[in-house]
Amino acid sequence: RMDQALLLVRNELPAPGLRLAARSGSCHQCLYQFLAFVPPSGGSLREAGTASVMVDTPHPLTLLLNSSAADTQLCKIEYHFGEFGNYSLVVKTLNASTKTVSCDLIVNEGPINSYLPILFAFLVYMGILAVLITVRLFMKIDPVRNWVYKKLNPRETDRLINSELGSPNTTDSINCDPAPHSWSTTSRQRLHSLDTFRGLSLVIMVFVNYGGGKYWFFKHESWNGKLPFPSALFTRFVFIMGTSIALSLSSMLRWGSSKWKVLRKILWRSFLLILLGIIVVNPNYCLGPLSWDNLRIPGVLQRLGFTYLVVAALELLFTRAESGTWEAPYPALQDILPYWPQWIFILMLEVVWLCLTFLLPVPDCPRGYLGPGGIGDFGNYPNCTGGAAGYIDRLLLGEKHIYQHPSSSVTYQTTMPYDPEGILGTINSIVMAFLGLQAGKITLFYKDQHKQIMSRFVIWSIVMGIISAILTKCSKEEGFIPINKNLWSISYVTTTACFAFILLLLIYYLVDVKKLWSGAPFFYPGMNSILVYIGHEVFENYFPFKWKMQDSQSHAEHLTQNLTATTLWVIISYVLYRRRIFWKI
């Protein structure tokens, strides 16, 4: 199967037999897991005892061979097996008098290069991009443009030429309201970089949710560790939501909406997000028809809805409708000091998270436990998955109403349900959105001052990076608070915020400052993010987003299917953009 190799163990030793166990390099302080019993040799090479096992290939493995009688260690091998490879482990006696045992690993058949489909897909998309750029350059040549005018409807041709291959121009820019009157001159101030940032995160999220070609590095980390590719996507979405809150609330109040009217809109939008997450997008798989007995209460949209409610209400309480900057005693802090009550509130929330995480007593678990449970921590706390975070969810929501298949269940073999979008982690998602809100305030305070905006983004990125380095001690497992996507630890938030500021800086520079990039094609999903996210979840198992494969163990087929589905949603969002159809809640 994918991410596996075949290992044939050949035992040429006389009785007793051997016990083969393994431990993954990604499993921190884990117990060795029994793989197979290898019978003893019958006294000749032809009668050697053999056993075949499947071994995992994503991470290096440590193989341990013990005598089944005295349970003494005979050999220990660390090796990174290749996908679909065929290997033999030969155990024999080198010296009969000293009873020295050797364990030789032999490659019978080399692994395949499972990354070639990624290279091929990259070349295909680069070819499409080259064709589009070439078409755009040719359209700038007068004879070619005149020929196109003759062949096509002049009005449609004008729209094609001015669209910059689908990118918005100044007359077609839009604001948050999809109504026809929104296509006015006031909407020219919309920052395309924000929609591009949101769309980029969303497109990658859709690709990963569809399977990511079944590559292990497109999956979430089992527990603590580095930031794998998909783990920062949701945080970027939360971050840019906070940025949009600052800009949209400022715009609504500046145009005369009362705070009560804006608050009603905030409450309604939060309610709809939570409702859609519970009713429409509910991934408690394999538990039968959706009913209250197995209804998952937390979720991605639910967390977005609640986070939006808190951060938007907090901003509404302290934002000002009038334009201009506040005369601060420290000009460098003019986007921070006027909102000191907000910072106090956020810091108090973080204190609550720290107290609950490290001080709340959890039955049969050590206080302040942050581990995965299962076979982690040498199997001492098998039912303590997530510590206080998991305990609070199980206590308040019930085990059947949270996520049943956490990422820790594979590597750490956990049996307790655990929800990565649970109650306690929502506190830090609010912190993440608030940091995004700060990015929005920077663009408001330093409007059209590109150097100031970009320098502030750099400063905030450095500050977040320093905080992360302190909290984690620049270590995967040994820090005060490790980076953990499942727990949404504060170090995870500061680390992803560090990269979010840098990414926003780059996109802002390319799209809004230098205008070297229109933001296409990511701009279009960014303009219809709710529709694309809900649509890709609802129609996930329907053609043309999914079809029956010839070989379900082929990365190439999975990658083709997942990229096709993701590309279709980009095309759908582009068509909706051209027709000025936007689904806002």
- Over the stretch 46-95, which tens digit does the pLDDT of each residue have? 678 899 999 999 999 999 999 877 778 888 999 999 999 999 999 988 77
Answer yes or no: is pLDDT of 168 > 70: no
Per-residue model confidence as pLDDT tens digits over 334-354: 778 888 899 999 999 999 999
Take residue 46 and report the two structure tokens written for it. Answer: 């032809």
Looking at residue 178, its pLDDT comes to 38
In sequence order, which ranges of 286-384 are alpha helices (DSSP H)? Answer: 300-318, 340-359
Answer yes or no: is pLDDT of 429 > 60: yes
Per-residue model confidence as pLDDT tens digits over 222-241: 898 766 556 678 899 999 99
Looking at residue 290, its pLDDT comes to 60
Identity at 545, one-letter amino acid code: F
In whole angstroms, give the CA distance from residue 159 to residue 242: 34
Domains of the chain, first to last = 4-109 (2.60.40), 227-322+330-507 (no CATH)
Could you tell me which residues come within 8 angstroms of residue 193 by beta carbon, excluding any fewer than 6 positions away? 504, 507, 508, 510, 511, 512, 519
Per-residue model confidence as pLDDT tens digits over 409-427: 989 999 999 999 999 999 9
Per the CB < 8 A criterion, the answer to whether 210 and 562 are in contact is yes
Greater confidence, 308 or 288? 308
Answer yes or no: is pLDDT of 555 > 80: yes
Most confident of 9-13, 445-449, 575-579: 575-579
Answer yes or no: is pLDDT of 270 > 90: yes
Most confident of 122-126, 170-174, 550-554: 122-126
Catalytic member of 28, 220, 536, 558: 220
Looking at residue 185, its pLDDT comes to 39
Rounded to an integer, the average pLDDT of 531-549 is 92
* Residue 220 falls in the annotated catalytic set: yes
Per the CB < 8 A criterion, the answer to whether 556 and 562 are in contact is no
Q: Round the CA-based radius of gyration of the chain to a whole number and report it.
A: 28
Looking at residue 417, its pLDDT comes to 94
Q: What is the 3-state secondary structure (H, E, C) of 282-305?
A: CCCCCCCCCCCCCCCCCCHHHHHH
Per the CB < 8 A criterion, the answer to whether 89 and 77 are in contact is yes
Answer yes or no: is pLDDT of 325 > 70: no
Per-residue model confidence as pLDDT tens digits over 504-526: 999 999 999 999 999 999 999 99
Per the CB < 8 A criterion, the answer to whether 305 and 274 are in contact is yes
Going by pLDDT thresholds of 50, 70 and 90, the confidence category of residue 326 is low
Mean pLDDT for all residues in the chain: 86
> What 3-state class would DSSP assign to 275?
helix
b/e per residue, 307-339, with b = 16+ CB within 10 A? bbbbbbebbbeebeeeeeeeeeeeeeebbbebb
Looking at residue 15, its pLDDT comes to 73
Sheet (strand 4-11) strand order: 49-56, 4-11, 86-95, 100-109
